[in-house]
Structure 1
Amino acid sequence: MADLFSWQRLIQNFPILIVKLPITFEIVAVAFTLGFLLALLIATARIKKIPVLNQILTVFISFERGTPLLVQMLVVYYALPIVLKTFFGIDSRRWEKIIFVDLALILNQGVFLGEIFRGAILSIPKGQREAAIACGFSEFNAFVRIVLPQAVRVALPSTGLTLIGLFQETSLVFMIGVIDIIGRASALGATTGHSLESYVIIAVIFVLINFVLTAITTKIDKKLTFGAKPVRMGAV
Structure 2
Amino acid sequence: MHDFGYVVGLFKQLLTGVPITLQFILASWIIGFSLSAFVTAGRLSSHKLIQYPLNLLVSFTRSVPIVLQLFLVYYGLPVLVQQLFGLNINDINKMVFCVITFSIYYGAYLSEVLRPAYLSVRKEQHDAAYGLGYTKLQTNIHVVIPQMLSVALPSLGNEVINLVHQSSILFVLGTVDLMGKADMIVSTDFTSSPLLTYFCAGIIYWIFTIVIMIIVHQVEKRVDVYKGDTLQDGGIS
Structure 1 length normalisation: TM-score? 0.92
Residue pairs, 1:86-101, within 5 angstroms: 86-101=83-98
Q: Paired residue for 2:228?
A: 230
Question: 1:214 and 1:156 mapped to 2: Cα distance?
Answer: 12
List alignment gaps of at least 5 residues for structure 2. none
- Find the partner of 2:124 among 122, 127, 143: 127
Q: Counterpart amino acid of 2:137?
A: F
Query: Is 2:218 the counterpart of 1:216?
Result: no
Report the CA distance between 1:37 and its aligned residue: 0.9
Report the CA distance between 1:130 and its aligned residue: 1.5
Report the CA distance between 1:114 and its aligned residue: 1.9
Query: Is 2:201 the counterpart of 1:202?
Result: yes
Q: Counterpart amino acid of 2:85?
A: F
Q: Paired residue for 1:16?
A: 13
Question: 1:13 and 1:115 mapped to 2: Cα distance?
Answer: 40
Q: Paired residue for 2:169?
A: 172
RMSD over equivalenced CA pairs, Å: 1.9
Question: 2:3 and 2:110 mapped to 1: Cα distance?
Answer: 42
Question: 1:219 and 1:181 mapped to 2: Cα distance?
Answer: 27
Do the aligned partners of 1:185 and 1:199 also contact (CA within 8 Å) in 2?
yes
Q: Return 192-201 or 160-169, whichever deviates more.
A: 192-201
Do the aligned partners of 2:151 and 2:227 also contact (CA within 8 Å) in 1?
no
Q: Return 26-35 or 189-198, whichever deviates more.
A: 189-198
Report the CA distance between 1:117 and its aligned residue: 1.2
Query: Is 2:57 the counterpart of 1:60?
Result: yes
For the residue of structure 1 that corresponds to 2:110, the secondary structure is helix
Q: Counterpart amino acid of 1:198?
A: T
Structure 2 length normalisation: TM-score? 0.91
Query: Could you give the per-residue CA deviations for residues 108-130 of structure 1, whole angstroms, max 9, x where no partner exists?
Result: 11112222111111110112101
Query: Could you give the per-residue CA deviations for residues 66-85 of structure 1, whole angstroms, max 9, x where no partner exists?
Result: 11110110000011111111
Query: Could you give the per-residue CA deviations for residues 26-83 of structure 1, whole angstroms, max 9, x where no partner exists?
Result: 0001100011110110011011143322111111111100111101100000111111
Q: Paired residue for 1:80?
A: 77
Do the aligned partners of 1:32 and 1:109 also contact (CA within 8 Å) in 2?
yes
Question: Greater RCO between the two (CA within 8 Å, min separation 6)?
Answer: 1
Question: 2:107 and 2:177 mapped to 1: Cα distance?
Answer: 23
Question: 2:31 and 2:227 mapped to 1: Cα distance?
Answer: 32
Do the aligned partners of 2:147 and 2:227 also contact (CA within 8 Å) in 1?
no
For the residue of structure 2 that corresponds to 1:73, the secondary structure is helix
Q: Paired residue for 1:185?
A: 182
Question: 2:20 and 2:93 mapped to 1: Cα distance?
Answer: 13
Aligned residues: 231
For the residue of structure 1 that corresponds to 2:97, the secondary structure is helix
Q: Paired residue for 1:69?
A: 66
Report the CA distance between 1:8 and its aligned residue: 4.1
Question: 2:99 and 2:121 mapped to 1: Cα distance?
Answer: 33
Query: Is 2:143 the counterpart of 1:136?
Result: no
Query: Is 2:147 the counterpart of 1:147?
Result: no
Identity level (%)? 26
Q: Paired residue for 1:43?
A: 40
Q: Paired residue for 1:111?
A: 108
For the residue of structure 2 that corresponds to 1:92, the secondary structure is coil
Query: Could you give the per-residue CA deviations for residues 86-136 of structure 1, whole angstroms, max 9, x where no partner exists?
Result: 122121111111110010010111112222111111110112101210221
